[in-house]
């Protein structure tokens, strides 16, 4: 009935007066909640074709290989500063294909996405094709007033994930800057973040923990809240890309990091009305309210990539390479200059990765905790052991610490968790 091809009078003419009153009231209610709209001209509604399962729901899109930092932990070093980025025309065609595939959201990354001159044209194309932009990952150096103004003019409110590793200029050492550059770059970055927050742009801070910042990492909690960013995401660097050459300089024992994580979680839970405040805390393997709310005892047949909602997603590299996820850089399933996204997504190689189950990971088959971590990250297992069937040591250590130290604290603060029992 409401297909955009009939006027209100045309709809009502086939009904008696009592029925017309009911229909008008019904349509009025639908209009209030935004389910229907009234237009002056005919606007036939398009009904997309059904797509095959599993649907590709989200795409991590690395738009450019250009970057204005040289991060010592960058996992995709091999893709940076290459003259092979997809053109605007190629991206435009790709976004249209994503719409056909009913992709729901795109996360934009790089390199440094704001170094791409046509970024806002690409954002416009994505929005015109009714695909949500879940986030833009940036190092923040290009976030000047002109860029902020353009962000505010975008159709949807765009959230930025900005890299910041400490409260002092020395934090920029991890990002590849020398002693004579750190202070100037740090002050510029902090100013950009403050200006963006003041303008009303949601900013989430991304922090990588190293031996240089671990001592002061807990102090960042209150500092970031004072900056009025919307949240803080914390993780360890992965043993890939640049970090393989700088591990000895920045890596530290996991146990030391976990102890600091525990302090941060405790500080967060001490905050009045922490469940409903506007500051989101995400600590890799340890703390994420959205995960806790849906935490369940996973059976051995559960899909590994379902653990953090990655089974129905993929990553597109700057040159058009498609990988199962951003970290799975050693497995290029196809290239968009040679194949369609649809053929790559539904390929046997891609779906074999997405269909890995907990019971398929040989290194975790006899572990009594695999139901809780879902064997961790397969890409990280490759980084550590050169095998996707090996354990993810980072996840192993984290889950044990979570059960012993974090879970009791969470329960004391009203977070409902499944009864954690050892499955043997």
Do 205 and 73 belong together in one domain? yes
- The strand pairing partners of 107, in sequence order, are 60, 135
Separation CA 122–CA 174 (nearest Å): 30
Q: What is the pLDDT of residue 103?
A: 97
Separation CA 166–CA 21 (nearest Å): 63
Using CA atoms, how far residue 419 sits from 284, 295, 365, 372, in Å, is 21, 11, 21, 11
Do 30 and 104 belong together in one domain? no
Do 38 and 83 belong together in one domain? no
Residue 319 included in any domain: no
pLDDT (tens digit per residue) in 35-54: 777 777 776 666 567 888 99
Do 39 and 76 belong together in one domain? no
Do 193 and 90 belong together in one domain? yes
Do 150 and 18 belong together in one domain? no
Separation CA 334–CA 102 (nearest Å): 20
CATH number of the domain encompassing residue 274:
3.20.20.70
The pTM of this model reads 0.86
Do 129 and 243 belong together in one domain? yes
Residue 238 included in any domain: yes
Q: pLDDT at residue 167 above 80?
A: yes
The SS3 of residue 203 is: strand
- Which residues are CB-neighbours of 319 under 8 A, at least 6 positions away? 65, 79, 82, 84, 85, 86, 335, 337
Do 66 and 165 belong together in one domain? yes
What's the mean per-residue pLDDT of the chain? 91
Percent of the residues in the chain that have a pLDDT greater than 90, as a whole number: 72
> Which uninterrupted H or E stretch holds 105?
strand 105-109
Separation CA 179–CA 301 (nearest Å): 51
Question: Which tokens sit at 18?
Answer: 């009592």
Cα torsion 287, 293, 294, 298: sign: positive
Instruction: Please report where in the chains the tokens 């040159």 appear, as a residue.
Output: 319
Residue 19 included in any domain: yes
Domain boundary among 293, 309, 333: 293
Do 40 and 110 belong together in one domain? no
Q: Is the peptide bond before 364 cis (omega within 30 degrees of 0)?
A: no
Q: pLDDT at residue 418 above 90?
A: no
Do 64 and 38 belong together in one domain? no
Residue 169 included in any domain: yes
Separation CA 101–CA 123 (nearest Å): 18
pLDDT (tens digit per residue) in 317-350: 999 999 999 999 989 999 999 999 999 999 999 9
Do 33 and 178 belong together in one domain? no
Residue 376 included in any domain: no
Determine how many CB atoms are found less than 10 A away from the CB of residue 37: 10
Domain boundary among 237, 265, 293: 293
Q: pLDDT at residue 230 above 90?
A: yes
pLDDT (tens digit per residue) in 46-98: 656 788 899 999 999 999 999 999 999 999 888 898 999 999 999 999 999 99
Q: Is 114 exposed, middle or buried (0-12, 13-18, 19+ CB in 10 A)?
A: buried
Residue 91 included in any domain: yes
Using an 8 Å Cβ cutoff, are 333 and 347 in contact?
A: yes
Separation CA 4–CA 387 (nearest Å): 54
Domain boundary among 240, 275, 293: 293
**Residue 184: which domain range?**
58-293
Q: How many domains does the chain have?
A: 2
Q: Which of 173, 307, 308 is nearest to 233 (CA)?
A: 308
User: Where is average pLDDT lowest: 181-195, 207-221, 299-313?
Assistant: 299-313
Order of strands, sheet of 105-109, starting from the edge strand that comes earlier in the sequence: 280-283, 231-235, 203-208, 160-163, 132-138, 105-109, 58-62, 313-316, 321-323, 334-335
Residue 10 included in any domain: yes
Determine how many CB atoms are found less than 10 A away from the CB of residue 1: 9
Q: pLDDT at residue 107 above 90?
A: yes
Residue 17 included in any domain: yes
Q: What is the pLDDT of residue 9?
A: 82
Q: What is the pLDDT of residue 31?
A: 75
Do 20 and 105 belong together in one domain? no
Would you place residue 423 in the very low, low, confident or very high pLDDT band (cuts 50, 70, 90)? very low
Q: pLDDT at residue 397 above 50?
A: yes
């Amino acid at each position: 009935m409401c297909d955009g091809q009939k006027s209100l009078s045309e709809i009502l003419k086939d009904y008696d007066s009592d029925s017309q009153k009911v229909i008008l009231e019904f349509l009025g209610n639908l209009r209030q909640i935004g389910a229907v709209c009234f237009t002056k001209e005919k606007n036939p509604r398009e009904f997309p074709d059904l797509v095959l399962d599993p649907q590709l729901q989200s795409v991590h899109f690395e738009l450019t290989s250009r970057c204005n930092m040289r991060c010592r932990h960058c996992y995709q070093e091999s893709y940076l500063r290459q003259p092979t980025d997809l053109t605007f025309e190629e991206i435009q065609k790709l976004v249209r294909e994503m719409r056909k595939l009913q992709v729901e959201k795109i996360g934009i990354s790089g390199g440094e996405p704001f170094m791409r001159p046509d970024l806002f044209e690409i954002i416009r194309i994505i929005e015109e094709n009714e695909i949500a932009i879940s986030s833009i990952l940036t190092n923040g150096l290009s976030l000047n007033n002109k860029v902020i103004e353009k962000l505010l003019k975008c159709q949807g409110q765009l959230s930025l994930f900005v890299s910041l590793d400490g409260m002092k200029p020395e934090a920029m050492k991890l990002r590849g800057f020398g002693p004579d550059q750190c202070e100037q770059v740090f002050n510029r970055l902090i100013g950009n973040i403050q200006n963006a927050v003041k303008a009303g742009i949601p900013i989430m801070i991304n922090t990588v923990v190293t031996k240089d910042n671990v001592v002061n990492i807990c102090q960042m909690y209150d500092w970031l809240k004072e900056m009025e960013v919307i949240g803080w995401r914390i993780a360890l660097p992965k043993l890939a890309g640049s970090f393989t050459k700088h591990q000895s300089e920045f890596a530290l024992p996991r146990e030391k990091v976990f102890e600091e994580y525990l302090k941060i979680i405790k500080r967060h839970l001490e905050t009045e009305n922490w469940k409903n405040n506007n500051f989101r805390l995400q600590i890799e393997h340890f703390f994420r309210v959205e995960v806790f709310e849906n935490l369940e005892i996973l059976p051995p047949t559960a899909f590994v990539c379902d653990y953090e909602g990655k089974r129905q997603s993929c990553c597109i590299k700057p040159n058009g390479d498609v990988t199962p996820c951003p970290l799975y850089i050693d497995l290029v399933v196809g290239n968009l200059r040679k194949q369609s996204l649809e053929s790559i997504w539904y390929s046997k190689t891609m779906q074999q990765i997405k269909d890995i189950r907990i019971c398929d990971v040989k290194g975790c088959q006899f572990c009594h905790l695999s139901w809780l971590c879902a064997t961790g990250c397969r890409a990280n297992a490759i980084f550590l052991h050169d095998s996707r069937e090996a354990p993810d040591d980072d996840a192993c250590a984290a889950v044990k610490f979570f059960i012993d130290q974090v879970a009791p604290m969470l329960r004391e603060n009203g977070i409902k968790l499944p009864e954690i029992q050892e499955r043997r």
